[in-house]
Amino acid sequence: MEKKETKHDALFKVIKGGPIQVSGNFVIRGVDKKILKTDKVVYLCRCGGSGRKPFCDGSHRRVGLKD
């Protein structure tokens, strides 16, 4: 029996001076292919300073992300 592909729809919103908000129906997989998140809303780091990448931990304030 063929496995059905699940449809995913997500909205990516860049927050000024902060992370990228992802909302909708999505799955995030890590480099080991394990599912990291299936929440309806997550915040992804775009400053490179997070201690829990790929997720934001608020370090963008310390890093001084402006745009």
Among 45, 53, 9, smallest CA distance to 27 is for: 9
Give the range of 4-12, 26-34, 52-60 binding ligand FES by CB under 6 A. Answer: 52-60
Among 23, 18, 25, 21, smallest CA distance to 47 is for: 18
Is 36 a binding residue for ligand FES by CB under 6 A? The answer is no
Q: Residue from 36, 37, 49, 54 that binds ligand FES (CB under 6 A)? A: 49
Q: Residue from 10, 28, 36, 47 that binds ligand FES (CB under 6 A)? A: 47
CB 25, CB 8: distance < 8 Å: yes
Is 45 a binding residue for ligand FES by CB under 6 A? The answer is yes
Q: Residue 42: which residues within 8 A CB-CB, separation 6 or more?
A: 21, 22, 28, 55
The residue ranges that bind ligand FES (CB under 6 A) are 18-19, 45-47, 49-50, 56-60
